[in-house]
């Protein structure tokens, strides 16, 4: 079964072609440089870039995979959550190709796809498992009973972890996206210089990164030389440490409380090297997607379509874009 997958939910224009759960071609055109001057993603700009780049990206990904439209069995497209205009570009393109070439179309939940991004090439995770989703828009702990069967354990009450990385980076004068920049700065920082709190420490699985961000910004505001490279490095190291400690505490707690040994961690923040290293020291069996499938890509969208198909989900159901789409109804 050959699948064409399209992802345009935020600031990556992405297309992939898969044979079942095997990637034949996977191309990502990052818009980061376009948004960087504005310090974050500008929704209108994102839609315009998707419109400009998507047709040629589809063409080049199809060419790379050596697959023609008549070979395709399924088109998979992200329909939420994400930026509305950006989602519209991807879904309109997918629907047009589906109608034109008479290929079934399957709408895919972006967050669900992140959760299974470690399952290419026959790799499967035994159910149930605990999934920690840490992206720019989401921080959620989910108990995954099966494909399509999810229980929400807890989520952030305000900012997502990635969002906090981006906002703290901006407060430190670092460019967008903040995660990789904070990580770079933290390498030279003293992790013990500032004591930032673990937000909602005693709430079992809820997160709150807005309070942590405020504590960090207060520290920056109080500093006489906020441009000092060592100060920036130290704040970065202490903030990163506080986020990592928070994510580890709540994820381990969920695993222990539910008696589940498998922890799957996914979403853009999973690209963080310090976080990856400390996750691997957990008692639990930690499953991480490969580095390049942590951040947004279309291969995970195609994979999710294959897994859903295998699980009896049929294509061609009616849908519209769903910017606020959640995992658990």
DSSP-derived letter for residue 81 is S
**What CA–CA distance (Å, rounded) separates 238 from 256?**
27
**Torsional sign, CA 213, 83, 1, 307:** positive
Distances in Å between the alpha carbon of 105 and those of 247, 268, 285? 36, 26, 35
> What is the 8-class DSSP label of residue 133?
E
Nearest to 61 by CA among 76, 47, 45, 46: 76
Phi, psi of 210 (to 5 degrees): -70, -40
CA distance 35 to 71: 36
- What span, in angstroms and rounded, lies between the C-alpha atoms of 150 and 129? 10
Contact map string, positions 94 to 133, toward ligand KG4, x by CB under 6 A:
----------------------------------------
CB atoms within 10 A of CB 51: 17
- CB of residue 298 to Zn ion, shortest distance in Å: 11
Q: Would you count residue 189 as binding ligand KG4 (CB under 6 A)?
A: no
Closest approach, Cβ 253 to ligand KG4, in A, equals 22
* Interface with ligand KG4 in residues 158-187 (CB under 6 A): 162-163, 165-166, 177-180, 183
85 binds, among ligand KG4, Zn ion, none (CB under 5 to 8 A by kind): none
- Of residues 268 through 307, those in contact with Zn ion by CB under 5 A are 296
154 contact, one of ligand KG4, Zn ion, none, CB 5-8 Å limit per kind: none
Shortest distance, CB of residue 233 to ligand KG4, whole angstroms? 15
**Is 72 or 298 the residue whose CB approaches Zn ion more closely?**
298
Give the per-residue contact string, 102-141, with Zn ion (x = CB under 5 A; - = no): ---------------------------------x------
Contacts to ligand KG4 by CB under 6 A: 10, 135-137, 162-163, 165-166, 177-180, 183, 267-269, 271-272, 295-296
């Amino acid at each position: 079964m050959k699948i064409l997958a399209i992802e345009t939910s935020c600031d990556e224009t992405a297309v992939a072609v898969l044979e079942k759960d095997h990637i034949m071609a996977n191309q990502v055109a990052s818009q980061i440089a376009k948004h960087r001057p504005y310090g974050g993603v500008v929704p209108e700009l994102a839609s315009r870039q998707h419109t400009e780049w998507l047709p040629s990206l589809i063409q080049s990904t199809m060419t790379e995979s050596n697959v023609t439209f008549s070979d395709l069995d399924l088109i998979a497209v992200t329909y939420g959550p994400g930026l509305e205009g950006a989602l519209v570009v991807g879904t309109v393109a997918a629907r047009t190709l589906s109608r034109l070439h008479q290929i079934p179309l399957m709408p895919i939940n972006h967050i669900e796809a992140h959760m299974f991004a470690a399952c290419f090439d026959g790799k499967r995770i035994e159910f149930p498992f605990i999934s920690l989703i840490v992206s720019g828009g989401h921080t959620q702990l989910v108990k995954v009973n099966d494909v399509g069967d999810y229980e929400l354990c807890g989520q952030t009450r305000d900012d997502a972890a990635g969002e906090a990385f981006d906002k703290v980076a901006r407060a430190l004068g670092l460019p967008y996206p903040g995660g990789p920049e904070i990580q770079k700065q933290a390498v030279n920082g003293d992790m013990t210089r500032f004591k930032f709190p673990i937000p909602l420490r005693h709430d079992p699985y809820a997160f709150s990164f807005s309070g942590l961000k405020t504590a960090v910004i207060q520290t920056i505001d109080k500093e006489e030389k906020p441009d000092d490279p060592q100060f920036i490095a130290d704040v970065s190291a202490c903030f990163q440490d506080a986020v990592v400690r928070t994510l580890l505490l709540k994820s381990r707690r969920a695993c222990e409380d539910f008696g589940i040994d498998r922890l799957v961690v996914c979403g853009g923040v999973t690209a963080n090297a310090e976080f990856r290293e400390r996750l691997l020291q957990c008692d639990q069996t930690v499953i991480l997607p490969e580095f390049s499938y942590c951040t947004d890509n279309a291969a995970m969208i195609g994979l999710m379509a294959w897994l859903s198909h295998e699980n009896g989900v049929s294509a061609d159901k009616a849908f519209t874009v769903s910017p606020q789409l959640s995992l658990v109804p």
